[in-house]
Structure 1
Amino acid sequence: MKTIYLETNYLTLSKLNEFNNILNTNLYEEKICIDLNGIGFCDPQTILCLAVMLRDFDMKRGQLHTDISIRQNNNVIGYLAHIGFFDFIGANFGNKIGEVSVGESYIPIRAINKIELLRESNETGKSLQDLVQEEASYLARILVGSNWNEQIYLTIAYSVREAIRNALEHSEKDICFVCGQRWTNNRAQIAVIDEGIGIYQSLVNAEINVSDENFLQIALQAGLSRTLNIEESLNIHGNSGFGLYVLYHLAKNYGRMTISSSGKTLIAKRAKNGIEERDSSFIGTCISIEFSMYPHDVADVISMIADSGEEEAKEAGRQVKASSRSRSVKI
């Protein structure tokens, strides 16, 4: 049996790309053991990306034998087991997804299933919009922490909902997964991931002119995601397409945003030249938002973001205005 080791003090997207290349090289080995005991620090984004990577690898191998090596006295392994990581990849260890409640400082891996939400909507009378908003609210609380202002929290929750909405409406999958963590230094990160067709193919399907080099920056333009819904009936959240644009700029003001999709990664952060792009091995879409400072002045910032977005959308020929939720903290 061949053993593949994932050893790193800090699990990054770059390290995951290297690891994925090793997995692909050994895809048809008859028996493989994947040793995860060498993983050090990992965050929601890399946890979800690794989980999708391992599950995809196992599915591609079909009937070939794959083992996962873990030590139960390993702190990182214990954390991953608690939040449902091993259940996600099909290993019979730790908690099941949905078994652990949301904590004050973390969100375990949660599945957001469009079919189940529609069923719950029919049973309870709650709108699909409100049900997705509930999930977004959990994530927003992680970002703003315990010292949160309700108006700030609601504005961020709406923008987070846009990331979930994009996953459910444009990926051609009915399910996405979320995870979140706030650390003792008040740094916080949330992540949303789907295993769908990817942003590039979604834009191509909508007949939007993109290349495999610029599609991520185009996807973040103001009002764009609204134009992907050809029929009004498909616009299940009544969105203006500004939520993701607003979230992108909020992240640039207060931390960073990372989008991995269709073989590319875009990282936006607080810096003069704060956009970095690189190749990725991920085909679906993973969006992560990280705050490293509290958004005290979000009301002023969000108004400027919306004004700028409306102007950009107008110049691009998209005659839409930021919704009241994208524009104002008075939700």
Structure 2
Amino acid sequence: MKYSMPSSLDLLGSLDLTLELEALANDSEYVFDHARLSRVEPFGMLLAGAKIRDFVASHEEANHADVNFRQHTYAGHMGFFQSILQDFGKKPGEASGSSRYIPITEILVEDMRKEAGGSSELRIKNIEREAYKLAVVLSQRNDDLCEYLTYSIRELIRNIVEHSKAKSIWIAGQYWPTDNLVEISIMDQGLGIQCTLSRNPKLKINNDRDALFLSIEPGITRKGHLKIDPYDEWANTGYGLYMTSSICQRGGDFAICSGDSCLYLNENINKMYSAAFSGTAIRMRINTRRISKLTQDLKMLLQEGERLARHNSKQAVLSASKISRILAN
């Protein structure tokens, strides 16, 4: 059976790919044809790569092949084809990267734990090191924005390490100067948002859609004191997704995909798309022309987060329908 890759591995193209592969009938051979593929983006490569790897693993008795892919040198340089088990281009993490791009990189959670040697302090510093790499690209070296993004992305990576039971964290990023656009993406193939948040008895979660809306609320995954300190090296505040989604929503757009749903946010809308992905994938985008304005809004976003967290803490049971941030859109 031949499967034609989408013309664009952007947000919508990669979501379509997950649904199409999920619906493919069983066969003895699958040929992935890349002839139509013309554009690839970090999120799309991470999500498509994960879905294709899962598909190959779940159809291990079939033969798998790729055709018409050698012209895609950018995707090869970024590590996409090696990530889908095709011996072409660089391996994930092999390209050097720069302030303009981060190649597809796999960070093994077990290696991160071993490097820390059981030290919580070293583990957090290792996580912060990876977060800083992503924040530098996303902020395009704006110091204030980079500091807040480092803190927020650190929380996202820390949650993967501590709660998702994922074996790996996958990252990638790209800055397109002519489009004034920068994107970074983070993905894991762990338990997924719904399974992780369902451990909290205060949350009413009926489906993946509810879980995604709840996940971007401040303080949802945190217990105890509500006040946030962005310079506290130890506190796991539960503000990581709130801050990254709020920053990107005001200055670009944000997407988070888990299970059968993908939540997309920008300044004007929130929209839910269908998906088929076991794990969590996050896309953060910023229009670089808006970075200066964003830096002026950072403290306001934190204050708003504290207000929302206080509001949510007063709810005996919190459901997606009670989230004021959603109702305000």
Calculate the TM-score normalised by the size of structure 1. Answer: 0.84
Select which of 294, 306, 309 maps to 1:310: 306
Select which of 263, 266, 291 maps to 2:260: 263
Q: Tell me if the contact between 2:218 and 2:308 (Cα under 8 Å) persists in the aligned partners.
A: yes
Distance change in 2, residues 1:70/1:318 (3 Å): farther
What is the Cα deviation at residue 283 of structure 1? 2.5
SS at match of 2:30: strand
Distance change in 2, residues 1:241/1:23 (3 Å): closer
Distance change in 2, residues 1:173/1:100 (3 Å): same
Distance change in 2, residues 1:297/1:24 (3 Å): closer
Select which of 102, 106, 117 maps to 1:107: 102
Number of aligned residues: 303
> Aligned residue for 2:151?
158
Distance change in 2, residues 1:280/1:313 (3 Å): same
Calculate the TM-score normalised by the size of structure 2. Answer: 0.85
SS at match of 2:214: helix
1:198 corresponds to 2:197: no
Q: Tell me if the contact between 1:163 and 1:287 (Cα under 8 Å) persists in the aligned partners.
A: no
Give the counterpart letter for 1:202 in structure 2.
Answer: T
Give the counterpart letter for 1:179 in structure 2.
Answer: A
Listed one character per residue, the Cα deviations across residues 92-114 of structure 1 (whole Å, up to 9, x for unaligned) are 22212222222231100111222
Q: Tell me if the contact between 2:262 and 2:274 (Cα under 8 Å) persists in the aligned partners.
A: yes
Give the counterpart letter for 1:3 in structure 2.
Answer: K
> Aligned residue for 1:63?
61
User: 1-side partners of 2:171 and 2:99: how far apart?
Assistant: 16
Give the counterpart letter for 2:176 in structure 1.
Answer: W
Identical aligned residues as a percent = 24
What is the Cα deviation at residue 3 of structure 1? 1.8
SS at match of 2:256: strand
Distance change in 2, residues 1:150/1:267 (3 Å): same
What is the Cα deviation at residue 48 of structure 1? 0.5
User: 1-side partners of 2:162 and 2:118: how far apart?
Assistant: 22
Distance change in 2, residues 1:46/1:318 (3 Å): farther
Listed one character per residue, the Cα deviations across residues 128-157 of structure 1 (whole Å, up to 9, x for unaligned) are 111111111111111122xx3323211111
Give the counterpart letter for 1:196 in structure 2.
Answer: G
**Which stretches in structure 1 are left out of the alignment for 5+ residues?**
229-235, 320-331
Select which of 206, 215, 219 maps to 1:211: 206
1:254 corresponds to 2:251: yes
> Aligned residue for 2:326?
none
> Aligned residue for 1:221?
217
Distance change in 2, residues 1:299/1:290 (3 Å): closer
User: 2-side partners of 1:277 and 1:108: how far apart?
Assistant: 28
What is the Cα deviation at residue 70 of structure 1? 3.3
Distance change in 2, residues 1:70/1:238 (3 Å): farther
User: 2-side partners of 1:218 and 1:119: how far apart?
Assistant: 32
> Aligned residue for 1:324?
none
User: 2-side partners of 1:257 and 1:283: how far apart?
Assistant: 19
Correspondence 1:31-110 to 2 at 5 A: 31-72=29-70, 74=71, 77-110=72-105
> Aligned residue for 1:189?
183
Give the counterpart letter for 2:37 in structure 1.
Answer: I
SS at match of 2:276: coil
Q: Tell me if the contact between 2:4 and 2:34 (Cα under 8 Å) persists in the aligned partners.
A: yes
